[in-house]
Amino acid sequence: MSKWIKHNGKGRPVPAGTIIDVIRFNGSKVENITAGGGPTVDPQGNVVSPCRARWSAWDHFDGGPMAVKYRAYRVRQKSDRFAAQMEALRSFLTIRAEELA
């Protein structure tokens, strides 16, 4: 797996569509997300309506809440992405099996 890269807070450092892991300033780690493809959330994790979202988790200087901004990131390698997708699929199948039991 690739190393964590400290983010400078000046916009998204990877192309939209890149699969990444991020660490937020509140200490939470979010894995296997698509850069430029996720919703904006408030410090409590609630999704902010696109018409109200005026800040980016990548931009440390736009006035948005620092808690949910990205402090560090790492790019997922193709093999990492495949493993994460397989784990998600296994999790889904386990849940479905329990629901059907």
pLDDT digits (tens, 9 = 90+) for 35-71: 886 666 666 667 766 555 567 889 898 888 888 899 9
Mean pLDDT of 67-92: 81
94 vs 81, more confident: 94
* pTM attached to this predicted model: 0.62
pLDDT in the model for residue 6: 96
Residue 6 forms beta bridges with which residues? 72
Task: Tell me the CB-side half-sphere exposure of residue 94, using CA atoms within 13 A.
Answer: 6
pLDDT tens for 90-99 read: 887 876 666 6
23 vs 19, more confident: 23
Chain-centroid distance, C-alpha 69: 10
